[in-house]
Amino acid sequence: MKKENKVVDFIKKYKISLIILLVVIIALVIGLIVSDFGKEKVDVAKNESSKTIANTHENVIKEETYEGLKFTNISLITENGYSTFTADVTNIAQNNSTISDVDIILQDKNGNEVITLRGNIGEPLKPNETRTITAVTKGELKNVTAKAIAKYENTAQN
């Protein structure tokens, strides 16, 4: 009987402290559960935005020739929210190329311009010289179904 009285006396004496301790423990358990669910959702969202999408439409990746320059090994890849156009450019003319930049016009299925990227070739290409160009833009370009290579038009205002 004495043991029971000691336990009952202890509970009566520390009743408020025990209730506060129990509430804190329950809050911690709930916090851990909620934080695990939140972490899982963040990971799923991160995986969705980091997936890689290759645009393999034949009119996007087909070889092109423009002003004595041949564009080959063309790719349009979207990853981590950015789209990257890459191509090898070879001077197939007999003289050095004078073209340092080209417009890469990406179009939708109706032939409407989606975006124009600037392809920087850089220094003049010698005959049979090849250089890789890369143009990057923010966003996904999976709806692009065609491309055109054209003279670079500097549209920046001075």
Domain boundaries, the chain: 2-49, 53-151
The pLDDT of residue 121: 94
Mean pLDDT score of the chain: 84
The H or E element containing residue 35 is: helix 15-49
Question: Regarding predicted confidence, which is higher, 7 or 114?
Answer: 114
Rounded mean pLDDT, 108-123: 93
Which strands make up the sheet holding 146-151, listed edge to edge? 113-120, 101-107, 146-151
Given a cut of 60, whether residue 157 has pLDDT beyond it is no
Nearest CA to 125 among 150, 147, 149, 100? 100
Beta carbons of 145 and 57 less than 8 angstroms apart: yes
Q: Residue 136 and residue 140: Cα distance in Å, rounded? A: 11
pLDDT at 2: 63
Q: Does 45 score more than 70 pLDDT?
A: no
What average pLDDT does this structure show over 115-122?
A: 94
Q: What percent of the chain has pLDDT over 70?
A: 85
Higher pLDDT, 58 or 21: 58
CA distances to 6, 16, 33 from 12, rounded to whole Å, are: 10, 9, 32
pLDDT of 74 = 94
Mean pLDDT for 49-72 is 90
Model confidence over 81-100: pLDDT tens digits?
A: 899 999 999 999 999 999 99
Summarize the confidence of residues 39-67 as an average pLDDT.
74
Please state, in angstroms and as integers, the Cα–Cα distance from residue 149 to each residue in 41, 59, 68, 105, 141, following that order: 42, 12, 12, 6, 17
- Supply angle C-alpha 65, 115, 111, rounded to 5: 70
Helix/strand/coil for 109: coil
- Grade residue 148 by pLDDT with cuts at 50, 70 and 90: very high
Mean pLDDT of 26-41: 71
For 53-151, the fitting CATH number among 1.10.1060, 2.60.40, 3.30.200, 3.90.930 is 2.60.40
